[in-house]
Chains A and B, each alone.
Chain A
Amino acid sequence: MSVLPARSRPALMRVHYRDDLRLAPTRASKLRLVLLLAVVIAVPYQLSGSWLTVLDYAAVFAVGAIGLNLLTGYTGQISLGHAFFMGVGAYVAAEFGVQHDWPLLVYLPLAAVIGALVGGLIGPFALRLRGDYLAIITLGLVIIGEYVFDQWDSVTGGGAGVTTAAPVQVGPWNFASLEVFGRQFTREQGLFWLFAIILAIAALLAKNIVRSRPGRAMQSVRDRDLAAEVVGVSQFRYKVGAFAISSGFAAVGGAMYAVLQQYVSPSEWSLLLSIQFVAIIIIGGMGTIFGSILGALVVLSTPELIKRYSDHIPGVIPANGGDGVISAASLNNLLYGVLIVLFLVVQPLGLAALWLRIKAYFKAWPFSS
């Protein structure tokens, strides 16, 4: 009966549904994963100082961006409120990790759960409001949230901020001062491995969501929510669910941020942070998981690049003062704006799509056009 080969070559053509579901469909993609693992293990040996810190932050933002991508890229719901949920996670880490001295394996999942619960409360708004109105209401959420964080002294320390150096002990390993084979690693280096593990878990979780039934339901809600409802996809379930899950990711990112920075103040959870997340998923690629990570790397490393080379970029005021048209911080914000506009106009699916196009070209080579 079956005229199709039992195992097709999924690289060229996918003939089985299960080919679509595979995490690593080809030998090449398996090889890539191994390579990636090797790089992640090697990085702290090679890097230290500011670039490693940049990578640490990139991992934090990647976790949050994966959450936003599930919500915006896959379910099509606009949110400018991501900063608020990140703040929630950070204060969970401050309250339970620092004040109560609970271990990482407790306060991190707790951050996810509390973030998801708070996000679930916002979800019903998404049912009543669409597009523009949803963007504005989540904007309102960030502003109200910033106020609440500022007022809730006992947890957030008010305007002065609060120490958030929560413990990072997992089993026998303390990632804050890791010792492997007699070699002592700094806090940044240890945290890089910890964050890489968390990011890998988050990415796998998100990938599993989007390649299975809920993921397809989310995408149908994004593409045409009425039609989705007609074929039996509950809008309530998936819109509220997407808000909850994405806020959970954001809260985990917030807790990681708190751990990394060891100190947070309410003004950090502002609209600017939310827009940074949106910039990440636009630049990286909406509707892809690895795009979120790629975007985080690009967006988080530009400030460092600008800072490092500000003396050589014409027009930029050098770090040690002097003449120039624009400060490094301004140039950075300007660049966010330009990149957002440029990507949306020219390459709406981001860097991920660029990569997929290059891949597709070589896959079909020499028959590609």
Chain B
Amino acid sequence: MTEFLQLLVSGIALGARYSLVALGFVVVFRSTKVINFAQGGLVVIGAYLTYNAHQTWGLGFWPSLLIGMVGTALVGAAVERLILRRMVGQPTFTIIMITIGLLFIVQEVVTSIWGTGTLDLGDPWGIRVVERNGIVISVKDLWTIGLTIAVLLAFFALFRYSKIGVAMRATAVDQEAAMAQGISVERVFLVSWAIAGAVAAVAGATLAAGPGNLTIGVGDLAFAAFPAVILGGLDSPGGAVVGGMTIGITQVMTAGYQPRWFPSLGAGFSQVMPYVLMIAILLVRPYGLFGTKEVRRV
């Protein structure tokens, strides 16, 4: 039982990371209908900017994270304004490939600035752990879970109470109708990308936390977050978190039990488990668990 609870807690912690990355995807997709393969690039930029502010400029960790968020938000907004704005109305393939191209550019620019070695983000959490009834959780994971909840609440408040949030919801439902109501869809796009950048920075900082954990590889988790986004449906923030948690818990449970129960699947099967789950779910529900079903008119 303790083992199960331990795996559950670790799964939730991993799920929180997936959720943070997934929320960035969702906020862009909801308003702009662009699936942003470069989200991993934004995560990387956020992590390295935070590192730079904290370790190179010597600011405190939290102000550094804030700088990382603002900087990445600006990068996100710039990408939207300079490149994707021109691509409105282009086929899905074109837009997906542009974001993949951007991912390549970001990764190489980041490695040429900060190098390919491992760096130390210098977060305040370190390797401390908390133990209750034999279940161990690291302080870092607790903070990650807390930050995920905070971001989700912020999203909820934004979409519910702020003017731009309501405009984003309206744009998500129907762009033309939103325009007719006087909503600046261009501003909605810009703000969506900026928010995605800020969330990516939070995700990047939590992913890179811990000694020697900051490498260019933190962006790879963005690909691993795809199953979470798909599971929850591309346009639902709540779904992104549920999807992230499901994937995280499934992955950790697989890592815990599969070697004993199904050893024939091979070592490291838990790494591909999210994708297997994703394919299985898409076969049954092509628009994810919480996604909006696309209605096609002829």
> A-side interface residues toward B, CB under 8 Å?
72, 76, 78, 125, 128-133, 135-137, 139-140, 143-144, 147, 151, 226-227, 230, 271, 275, 278, 282, 325-327, 330-331, 333-334, 336-341, 344-345, 348
Q: Assuming A140-B227, A340-B104, A341-B105, is B282 touching A131 (CB within 8 A)?
A: no
A341 near B275 with CB under 8 A, answer no
Given pairs A144-B275, A330-B108, A330-B111, 4 additional interface contacts (CB within 8 A): A131-B92, A133-B286, A282-B97, A348-B90
A128 near B93 with CB under 8 A, answer no
A132 near B102 with CB under 8 A, answer no
Q: How far is the CA of A333 from the CA of B276 in the complex (A)?
A: 29
A147 near B271 with CB under 8 A, answer yes
Contact of B226 among A76, A140, A227, A341 (CB under 8 A): A140
Report chain A residues within 8 Å CB of B268.
147
Q: How far is the CA of A325 from the CA of B110 in the complex (A)?
A: 11
B230 near A334 with CB under 8 A, answer no
Q: Assuming A133-B230, A348-B94, is B101 touching A336 (CB within 8 A)?
A: yes
The yes or no answer to B149 lying at the interface (CB within 8 A) is no
The yes or no answer to B83 lying at the interface (CB within 8 A) is yes
User: Interface residues of B, CB < 8 Å — how many?
Assistant: 44
A278 near B97 with CB under 8 A, answer yes
B278 near A137 with CB under 8 A, answer yes
**Minimum distance in angstroms from B32 CB to a CB of chain A:** 12
**Minimum distance in angstroms from B236 CB to a CB of chain A:** 15
Some 27 contacts from A to B, beta carbons below 8 A apart, are A78-B92, A78-B96, A129-B286, A130-B294, A132-B35, A135-B96, A137-B279, A140-B279, A143-B272, A144-B276, A144-B279, A147-B269, A227-B298, A271-B223, A326-B111, A326-B112, A330-B112, A334-B109, A337-B104, A338-B101, A340-B100, A340-B104, A341-B102, A341-B105, A344-B98, A344-B101, A348-B90
Report chain B residues within 8 Å CB of A129.
282, 286
The yes or no answer to B295 lying at the interface (CB within 8 A) is no
Q: How far is the CA of A341 from the CA of B108 in the complex (A)?
A: 15
> Which parts of B232-275 form the interface with A (CB within 8 Å)?
234, 266, 268-269, 271-272, 275
Report chain B residues within 8 Å CB of A333.
104, 107-108
Report chain A residues within 8 Å CB of B97.
278, 282, 340, 344
Q: Assuming A125-B282, A334-B109, is B275 touching A132 (CB within 8 A)?
A: no
Report chain A residues within 8 Å CB of B109.
334
B283 near A128 with CB under 8 A, answer yes
**Minimum distance in angstroms from B219 CB to a CB of chain A:** 12
B93 near A72 with CB under 8 A, answer yes
Report chain B residues within 8 Å CB of A282.
97
Q: How far is the CA of A72 from the CA of B94 in the complex (A)?
A: 11
Query: Residues 117-160 of chain B: 1 if any A CB is under 8 Å from the residue's CB, otherwise 0?
Result: 00000000000000000000000000000000000000000000
Q: How far is the CA of A227 from the CA of B296 in the complex (A)?
A: 12
Q: How far is the CA of A133 from the CA of B92 in the complex (A)?
A: 10
Q: How far is the CA of A133 from the CA of B279 in the complex (A)?
A: 10
B83 near A341 with CB under 8 A, answer yes
Q: Assuming A132-B35, A132-B92, A345-B98, is B104 touching A336 (CB within 8 A)?
A: yes
A337 near B94 with CB under 8 A, answer no
Please provide the 9 A-B residue pairs with the shortest distance between their CB atoms, ordered closest to farther.
A337-B104, A340-B101, A131-B92, A140-B275, A334-B108, A337-B105, A341-B101, A326-B112, A151-B266
Closest partner residue, chain A, to B111 (CB atom): A330
Report chain B residues within 8 Å CB of A331.
108
Q: How far is the CA of A338 from the CA of B109 in the complex (A)?
A: 11
**Minimum distance in angstroms from A99 CB to a CB of chain B:** 21
Q: How far is the CA of A110 from the CA of B188 in the complex (A)?
A: 53
Report chain B residues within 8 Å CB of A275.
100, 104
Q: How far is the CA of A321 from the CA of B246 in the complex (A)?
A: 47
Q: Tell which of A128, A132, A147 has the most Cβ of chain B within 10 Å.
A: A132
Q: Assuming A133-B282, A331-B108, A340-B97, is B272 touching A147 (CB within 8 A)?
A: yes
Q: Tell which of A72, A125, A140, A348 has the most Cβ of chain B within 10 Å.
A: A140
B272 near A144 with CB under 8 A, answer yes
Closest partner residue, chain B, to A132 (CB atom): B35
Query: Residues 47-67 of chain B: 1 if any A CB is under 8 Å from the residue's CB, otherwise 0?
Result: 000000000000000000000
